[in-house]
Amino acid sequence: MKSNLMYLVPPVSRDRIISQFPKWYTPEACLQFKENFHAQVRTACQRSTETAGLKISKVVVVGDLYVGKTSLINRWDTAGQEKFKCIASAYYRGAEVIITVFDLADIQTLDHTKQWLEDALRENEPDSSLIFLVGTKKDLVSDAVCERTELDAIRFAKEMRAEYWSVSAKTGENVREFFSRVAALTFEQSMIKELEKTAGHVAQIGAGNLIKLEKSMTEIPEGKTQASLSCC
């Protein structure tokens, strides 16, 4: 007989708990200016006490060779090589988040991000993916160079309908903030879809693996919302 029980994964660590909606990097290239999770999402989260079933969201990271994708996130890299072209479509398909990466110290890699995004979007339904444009290796450029490059990057981000961030994987600058932002927006989008499917019923938070919550973590202060994240 096939078991209906879902597998339990290890408890969520405290640094993966988001109680406030993460802020954007710059208002000039921001997806959403909200400061709190959607009211229905907050209500659904507050119903959960012992466990929360969260769906895994697919995130793809694309960009030129050596722009710092692997350093930014430990994920399979198509690397732009011809021998990977035949499997790229499967890699892109079903992406809920597309992160396009370029090197702040190499402006040419920014020019290539539009093509990378087009390739990824070709395998997904219109408006089904959250898009981020990320400049890496911020530690390698001066503040003046970074500022000039960001002006171009923000223009690209607006054309790509993406949210822009600058990070440094070496120093850790903005990395945690960026992934918290990605996780929060993705979690909220996934939750809203779940709630729409279960209109008129008490919605379960997803239907994926169960994540055990420590008792102290389920005691949410008034006005706060808990989103347990295991995406990164």
What's the pLDDT tens digit per position in 130-182?
999 999 999 999 999 999 999 999 999 999 999 999 999 889 999 989 999 99
Which pTM value belongs to this model? 0.73
When computed from its CA atoms, the radius of gyration of the chain, rounded to whole angstroms, is 19
- CA dihedral angle for residue 21, residue 22, residue 26, residue 30, rounded to 10 degrees: -50
> Which pLDDT score is estimated for 207?
47
Give the largest CA-CA distance in the chain.
65
> Which pLDDT score is estimated for 226?
37
**Domain residue spans in the chain?**
8-23+34-56+184-228, 59-176
Least confident of 26-30, 51-55, 88-92, 213-217: 213-217
> Which pLDDT score is estimated for 162?
96
The larger pLDDT score, comparing residue 111 to residue 83, is at 111
Mean pLDDT (whole number) for 114-134: 92
Q: Does domain 59-176 have CATH number 3.20.20.80?
A: no
How many whole angstroms separate alpha carbon 110 and alpha carbon 135? Answer: 8
What's the pLDDT tens digit per position in 174-224?
998 999 999 889 888 877 777 777 654 444 554 444 444 344 333 333 333
